Structure 1
Amino acid sequence: MLAALTGAGLSAAAGLNAYIPFILVALIARFTDVINLPHQYAWIESWWAIGIAAVLLLSEVVLDKVAVVDSINDAVGTFVRPATGGLIFAATTAAEDFEKGSTFMADNPWVGVILGIITAGIVHTGKAVSRPVVNAGTGGLGAPVVSTAEDGAAITLSLVAIFLPVLVIFLLLLLLWGLFALWRRGYNRRRRRDELMADAGYS
């Protein structure tokens, strides 16, 4: 159960930013005994994997804070984020640290991959759908604010998933509520703006 919660939290974080949970898992696995990745996933903690992920993270952090460009970045993320979510879910749930006596996930890695893809895909969809609405409602000024909040949420969710997985369900519900509230607020602001423009044109 804890293994599944850890995988779900990390893959949800990947839906917001593919590289934050990847780098955190890689660094924690490399420098601590909290995560001991199975041999088939040991490449995740290699320096070359960490280096590539760090470069991609830097580009993601910058591009995601620019209106319009963030939507292009999200389009690319449609493939990257679910794939990373599937990888991280499978890798961490197969780690003996999180199995707690159960080897089901280690023996059936495809289950973790599918669950990770679905979880990351749902979160990514919420992010990708809400961002254009927020940008339209704020004239693009909301992009860096929302993006920074998403990065913070990805870091928090990743760390909680690794160290306090029992809280993952609560954070996932909070995340989904936040994405919906963000979309609704942006939609309402854009609708009010359109109504004002229509009234001005009518008069």
Structure 2
Amino acid sequence: MDVTSAVGSVLGAFGLSGAAGLNAWLPLFIAGLADRFGWIDLGGSYGWLSSAPALIVIGVLLVADLVGDKIPAVDSVLHGIGTLVAPTSGAVLFTAETSLNSHLPTAVAAVLGALTAGSVHAGRSVARPFVTGTTAGVGNPVVSAAEDMTSLALTVVAFVVPVVAFVAVLILLIGLGWLAFRASRWLRRRRERKQLGTPPRSPG
């Protein structure tokens, strides 16, 4: 086993799983297309991702998510669904990326992928009400578009420069953790003021 390739595949897998936490369908769709056109090799076990039926279904779900996540209230429903979908996508991508170039057990790869994607998704789900409340929903499409672009960038970088994708995911997790902390404090203060009958203030 080539150690360099093995390490690269693991680091890239973290990047793909992080991307799945931001948009569960985008990295799956890109990985499937890349495998179909021969740019990457997902191996026989994950060749189904590049099949025409899979690409069509994932593509339709991707478009629905891209549109729905820009709409307040609808995005909350999608985030709820994503609590299951994002970790699943992360697990599939992590195991697919590491299946050929490393001896990482499939179960371990699946858990790492699910945890990475799930952590990123949890951070963005906690932070979204903060964005909605402080911008009256106007900021949702902007934040959602930024998440989609970051997911796209992470996916591409994961295949091209895996170590950069890994570092980017670490930074993303730290940033989302901080934002989630701020959001939870703001939401708690908002509930307290509502109970006391005082008007809410801007977060600070």
TM range (shorter): 0.7 to 0.9
Cα deviation code 1:25-78 (max 9, x no counterpart) = 111111134x21221111111111111001000000111111121111100011
Alpha-carbon distance in 2 for matches of 1:145, 1:36: 34
Alpha-carbon distance in 2 for matches of 1:164, 1:30: 21
Aligned residues: 191
The alignment's C-alpha RMSD in Å is: 2.3
Q: State the match for 2:111 in structure 1.
A: 114
Alpha-carbon distance in 2 for matches of 1:180, 1:56: 27
CA shift in 2, pair 1:93/1:199, >3 Å = closer
Choose between structure 1 and 2: higher helix proportion.
Answer: 1
CA shift in 2, pair 1:183/1:176, >3 Å = same
Alpha-carbon distance in 1 for matches of 2:116, 2:168: 13
Shift of 1:24: 0.9
Q: State the match for 2:131 in structure 1.
A: 134
Alpha-carbon distance in 2 for matches of 1:189, 1:104: 45
Q: State the match for 1:18 in structure 2.
A: 24
Q: How does 1:7-156 map to 2 (within 5 A)?
A: 7-33=13-39, 35-95=40-100, 99=101, 103-105=102-104, 108-156=105-153
Q: State the match for 1:198 in structure 2.
A: 198
Shift of 1:177: 3.6
- Of 3, 9, 18, the residue aligned with 1:3 is 9
Give secondary structure in 2 for the equivalent of 1:67. Answer: coil
Shift of 1:182: 4.2
Question: Among the aligned pairs, what percent are the same residue?
Answer: 39
Answer yes or no: is the 8 Å Cα contact 1:134–1:187 preserved in 2.
no
Alpha-carbon distance in 1 for matches of 2:170, 2:158: 14
Unaligned residue ranges in structure 2 (runs of 5+): 1-6
Answer yes or no: is the 8 Å Cα contact 2:21–2:117 preserved in 1.
yes
Amino acid at match of 2:119: I
Cα deviation code 1:107-166 (max 9, x no counterpart) = x21111111111111001001111011101111111101000000010011111111001
Cα deviation code 1:83-119 (max 9, x no counterpart) = 0110111011113xxx2xxx412xx211111111111
Alpha-carbon distance in 1 for matches of 2:184, 2:131: 7
Answer yes or no: is the 8 Å Cα contact 2:23–2:151 preserved in 1.
yes
